[in-house]
Amino acid sequence: MSNKPSGRTLAVRAGLETDEQHGAVVPPLHLSSTFTYAGFGQPRAYDYTRTANPTRDVLAEALAELEGGVGATVTCTGMAAITLVCQLVDPGDLVIAPYDCYGGTFRLLSDFAQRGLFRLELIDQTDAAELDRALALNPRLVWVETPTNPLLRIVDLWKLSQRLQDSDALLAVDNTFLSPVLQRPIEFGADLVVHSTTKYLNGHSDVVGGAVVATTPELHERMQYWANALGLTGAPFDSFLTLRGLRTLHARMRLHEENANALANLAVAHAAVRCVHYPGLPDHAGHALAKRQQHGFGGMLSLELAGGEPAAQVFLEALQYFSLAESLGGVESLASHPWSMTHGVVDEASKLAAGLCPGLVRLSAGIEATRDLVADVEQALDCVLAAASARDSALG
């Protein structure tokens, strides 16, 4: 039994049998905001829940182990986790981020930069020349999302971390889209891994949360310090639920991927679709890289419909087993219109520059039966064609 257990075993068994009082199999939920001193001048392991909480610590330890870091800081949202990482840079420092990053990240980084908390360069990180130019400016923090949202572009983490080796730049990777089951950025040289645990890690669309996994005790301590100072730590009940979701993460990720793959293959062959963005498709620009860097292609895909925004509307309204909603990573399938929803806060010019168009729809494949999801997307795409030909004959 000397071998380190696999992530799947770690996720299932996180914190089990740690209750010394009653021998509970599942770790108890500690909601208490405060903890007594054992006596005058005798603090215990915990004193106040904003600073530290036993339930939250079980989740943090599990996330650190799954990502291969030294410690994790569990936050109240994914945006809180990103806010923490922003505390690592000072005024005048340069932050490099992808121009097609998550809309909320784009807003936060842009507004912080506007207020002078740091300088910001938004670039296409899959473009070697742009990356060269930006890295020559001596950044302090390089922010990466891979795959990107919603176009699923893949960034080469190993190449990037090698190029940053001789600088004092920190590499932070938002691993929300894949989870540590399908990608472990620390193995490719990341200094920090960020999650919106709202998505796959919790997996049931009933918690908003986040985490920062650090690779050195010093970075971890700074994240812990700022989480407490800014008051961004996660709630105990949310941590408890996320820990419960985490136990089935590996099983869920397999089903998400199986469904996404089936949907991508259906959509590629349909006349209503101009193009499909899914790294699992052999002709996706990042397919070979994703194969090397990831342990699977994930459960997210987006479709560019030939008929633009009107087609997107028909498609989204015709779907039966996909709920029209932002977010992703839950057991239920979701569909969204990035142009007006997740990326609604991004200005139009930036959206177009990032390759986003009004005819794009994004799907988060849930874990429902594959044949039901495939049939549903197929009939919704057929509706798009029917609506277009009805419009054409009305015009003709």
Q: Which residues bind ligand PLP (CB under 6 A)?
A: 77-79, 102, 104-105, 145, 149, 174, 176-177, 196, 198-199, 208, 210
Strands 334-336 and 273-277: unpaired
Fill in the amino acid letter for 128: A
Backbone angles phi, psi at 286, to 5 degrees: -105, 15
Catalytic hit among 8, 46, 50, 291: 50
The 8 Å CB, 24+ separation contacts for 337-342 are 337/312, 337/313, 337/361, 337/362, 338/149, 338/150, 338/302, 338/362, 339/309, 339/312, 342/102, 342/103, 342/149, 342/150
Q: How far apart are CA 180 and CA 141, in angstroms?
A: 22
Fill in the amino acid letter for 188: F
- Cα dist from 363 to 195, 301, 326, 340, whole Å: 20, 5, 10, 15
Pick the closer one to ligand PLP by CB: 105 or 313: 105
Catalytic hit among 184, 199, 252, 362: 199
Pick the closer one to ligand PLP by CB: 102 or 297: 102
Nearest residue to 62 via CA among 114, 118, 18 = 18
Pick the closer one to ligand PLP by CB: 102 or 188: 102
- The two tokens of residue 22 are 């009653």
Pick the closer one to ligand PLP by CB: 57 or 174: 174
Task: Examine the residue annotation and report whether 174 is marked as an active-site residue of this protein.
Answer: yes
The answer to whether the CB of 243 falls within 8 A of the CB of 62 is: yes
Pick the closer one to ligand PLP by CB: 103 or 359: 103
The answer to whether the CB of 342 falls within 8 A of the CB of 326 is: yes
Query: CA torsion, points 66, 70, 73, 74, in degrees to nearest 10?
Result: 20
Catalytic hit among 57, 156, 174, 376: 174
Q: How far apart are CA 207 and CA 222, in angstroms?
A: 25
Minimal distance in Å, beta carbon 48 to ligand PLP?
24
- The two tokens of residue 301 are 């895909």
Q: How far apart are CA 190 and CA 184, in angstroms?
A: 9
Catalytic hit among 56, 99, 100, 102: 102
Minimal distance in Å, beta carbon 364 to ligand PLP?
10
Minimal distance in Å, beta carbon 320 to ligand PLP?
25
Task: Examine the residue annotation and report whether 199 is marked as an active-site residue of this protein.
Answer: yes
Pick the closer one to ligand PLP by CB: 176 or 215: 176
- Cα dist from 360 to 4, 58, 287, 299, 305, whole Å: 43, 39, 20, 17, 6
Pick the closer one to ligand PLP by CB: 15 or 78: 78
Pick the closer one to ligand PLP by CB: 176 or 333: 176
Minimal distance in Å, beta carbon 197 to ligand PLP?
7
Minimal distance in Å, beta carbon 187 to ligand PLP?
20
Minimal distance in Å, beta carbon 166 to ligand PLP?
29
Minimal distance in Å, beta carbon 103 to ligand PLP?
9
Task: Examine the residue annotation and report whether 102 is marked as an active-site residue of this protein.
Answer: yes
Minimal distance in Å, beta carbon 191 to ligand PLP?
17
Instruction: Determine the angle formed by the axes of helices 78-86 and 217-230, rounding to 10 degrees.
Output: 110
Q: Round the CA-based radius of gyration of the chain to a whole number and report it.
A: 22
Nearest residue to 153 via CA among 302, 269, 360, 349 = 302
- Provide the annotated active-site residues: 50, 102, 174, 199
